[in-house]
Amino acid sequence: MPLYKTIKPNFETIIYVWKIEESFQELFHNIELNENNLKRLNGMRSELHQRGFLSVRHLLKTAGYTDFDLYYTENGKPHLKDEKHISITHSFNFSAIAISGSEIGVDIEKNREKIKRIAHKFINKEASFLKDKNIIEQLTVLWGAKESLYKIYPYEGLSFKKHIPIQAFDLTDKKTIGWIKTTDRNKKYDIRFEQVQNFTLVYALDIL
C-alpha cells in the first residue's frame, strides 16, 4: 500500500501522506464504513473522489483508527471520538491526514496554472512579496496556508482575503506564519510547506 510519507513536525503531531495508485476495488477491500459515509461514497459521481475518500480511510487505519472513530460537525469539520484534532485533504492522486493533540490543519493541492486566475479572490496585501518566478507554487502555498487555517476555525464566515493574513515567505524557507483574525479570535499559527512531486503540501500548527 502506497503510504507515501510520514511527517512528525512536533511531539504531538503526525501527518500521513498517501499516493493513490490503487483501483476503487483495491481501496474498498478490507475497509468498513459507517452508514453515513457509505451513503456519501455511493453518492459520489467521480471515481477519483471515491478513491480519494477511501484512501483517507486507509490513512485512518494506518494511524490506528477506523471510519467509526470519525465524525463530522454540522459545518463539515471532522473530529475524532478520542478528542484528538484531525484534518483531512485530498487532491487528484494524493491524500493526507494530520492528527494532533493541538489544533491542526492540512491541505494538499496540485500546482496548476488555474490558480493565477483566481488569486484575486484569496490574496490581499500578500501580493507585494510574490515573484514572477515560481508564481504558481507561491500562490499554491498561500492558498494551502489559508485553507489549512480555515479548516482549524470551527465556525462559518471566515474570509480567505479578510481574516487569514499570511506572512511573507520564500519557497526555500519551507515555513511562514499565518493568523486567524476575526472578532472572536486573533491567533498566530506556524505554517509549514513542501513540494510533493507536482503538488504542494501545507499544514498549520498550533504554536506550542
Which pLDDT tens digit goes with each residue over 67-79? 999 999 888 899 9
Note the pLDDT tens digit of each residue in 103-132: 999 999 999 999 999 999 999 878 888 988
Residue type, 50: Q
**What is the CB neighbour count within 10 angstroms for residue 149?**
26
- Residue of 53, 150, 155, 159 lying closest to 104 (CA atoms): 150
Burial class of residue 10 in the structure, from the number of CB atoms within 10 Å of its CB (0-12 exposed, 13-18 middle, 19+ buried)? middle
Q: Is the pLDDT of residue 19 over 70?
A: yes
Residues 6 or more apart whose Cβ sits within 8 Å of residue 153: 180, 182, 185
- Cell numbers of 8, please? 512528525
Note the pLDDT tens digit of each residue in 49-70: 999 999 999 999 999 999 999 9
The whole-number pLDDT of residue 182 equals 95
Residue type, 197: Q
Report the C-alpha gap between 92 and 147 in whole angstroms. 17
Report the C-alpha gap between 120 and 117 in whole angstroms. 8
pTM to 2 decimal places: 0.95
Average pLDDT, the chain: 95
Q: Is the pLDDT of residue 33 over 60?
A: yes
The class that CATH gives domain 109-206 is alpha beta
Q: Is the pLDDT of residue 1 over 60?
A: no
Start-to-end CA span in the chain (Å): 33
- Do 109-206 and 3-106 fall under one CATH topology? yes
The whole-number pLDDT of residue 127 equals 80
Determine contact, residues 106/202, Cβ cutoff 8 Å.
yes
Identify the architecture of domain 3-106 in CATH: Alpha-Beta Complex (3.90)
Domain ranges, ordered by start, for the chain: 3-106, 109-206
